[in-house]
Amino acid sequence: MKTLVAIPALNEEITIKKLIAAVPRELHGTRVQVLVVDDGSTDSTASEAHEAGAFVISHGRNMGLGTAFRTMLSYARENGFNFMATMDADGQFNPEDLATLTEPVINNETDFSTASRFLNPELTPDMPALKKWGNARVAKLVSSLANTKIQDATCGFRVYGPRTLERVACFSRFTYTQEVLIDVARKGLRIKEIPVKIRGEREHGKSRIASNLWRYAHLSIEAMYSVAHGHSPWRFYGTPAFLLIAGGTLLGLLVLIRWLVVGSISPYTAFGIGGLFMITFGILLLLFASVADISAANRKMLGEIIAMETRRIREKNEQIEETEYSSRRTF
């Protein structure tokens, strides 16, 4: 069985070599390979990673953390890995903690484990108060959209089991952390948060993702909304649609009753016009819900096809490796 430790990197020549050297080459009986996705670095990140023994995929230009995640996911699927761990290249995560994160996934106690900086108050890192407040708000929003309690929604130190590798999806270019949590939870996969001591701030340079908090918040909410309404289109469009139609109908009935009683709708003409607008917008939202529901069904069907193909590749690779192992024993 094989575990892929996948590291997205952008201009991390100072830390990447030391990080790769510290990654264990065996985790709970699984062989480990390190993959570095160089997302358009302009320094020597790629060459440093290659010299340290990692397999390197270079995008050539900066395409975003979400795109880097899809590259890592595709590599893991296409090469038959049973497990995938993701961690940042900036040195905030300790590779020794990979053993702790992978254990419950490899032992099939959960489908997906994620490091949590805030689950154990004693391990909460030193970081600006604004970032702590922002992380708490994001975790609360993700918990609501995922229908499960999440304490830390933005940490990229995670482990994906076989079922998660088969089913997880990410469409955002900017990031993947919140979107993946919602997607995994909505697909009924088991999630386990594990308290881990993590450095609160980068030792070198500034964060490539959260350097502009307003942009980070905007693009993160956009990604979370996209995945959530993709799983529950009627919740996002249908509920407000029915409320608008019900409210518009009520206003229309009140105006109609007044007209029947006194022969005039004045001075409540605006109520009647407002009711018509509410009904119209409600019907439009119902149409949006129908279209989104068809899109969600297609997305689910595509996900099942990918899962089947991922299983097929993994089983084929395992058969090949078993045959090679048997041949070596024979000789």
CATH number at residue 14: 3.90.550.10
Residue 148 lies in domain: 2-231
Q: What is the mean pLDDT of the chain?
A: 88
pLDDT at 209: 61
Same domain, 77 and 129: yes
Domain-terminating residue out of 180, 213, 231: 231
Domain-terminating residue out of 208, 231, 254: 231
Report the percentage of the chain scoring pLDDT > 70: 91
Same domain, 271 and 162: no
Same domain, 94 and 158: yes
Position 174: which residue type?
Answer: F
Nearest partner of 157 among 235, 96, 222, 79, judged by Cα? 96
- Contacts of residue 267, defined as CB under 8 A and 6 or more positions apart, other chains included, come to none
- To which H or E segment does residue 3 belong? strand 2-9
Domain-terminating residue out of 197, 212, 231: 231
Same domain, 200 and 162: yes
Same domain, 39 and 118: yes
Same domain, 164 and 285: no
Same domain, 210 and 142: yes
Query: How many helices (H) does the chain have, and how many strands (E)?
Result: 11, 8
- 180: pLDDT strictly greater than 90: yes
Same domain, 265 and 133: no
Same domain, 92 and 140: yes
Residue range 41-68: mean pLDDT, rounded? 94
Total tally of structural domains belonging to the chain: 2
At 96, phi and psi to the nearest 5? -65, -25
Residue range 230-236: mean pLDDT, rounded? 79
Position 4: which residue type?
Answer: L
Same domain, 58 and 152: yes
Q: Per mean pLDDT, which range of 91-100, 303-312, 316-325 is the poorest?
A: 316-325
Residue range 313-321: mean pLDDT, rounded? 84
Angle between helices 239-262 and 269-330 (to 10 degrees): 170
Same domain, 37 and 23: yes
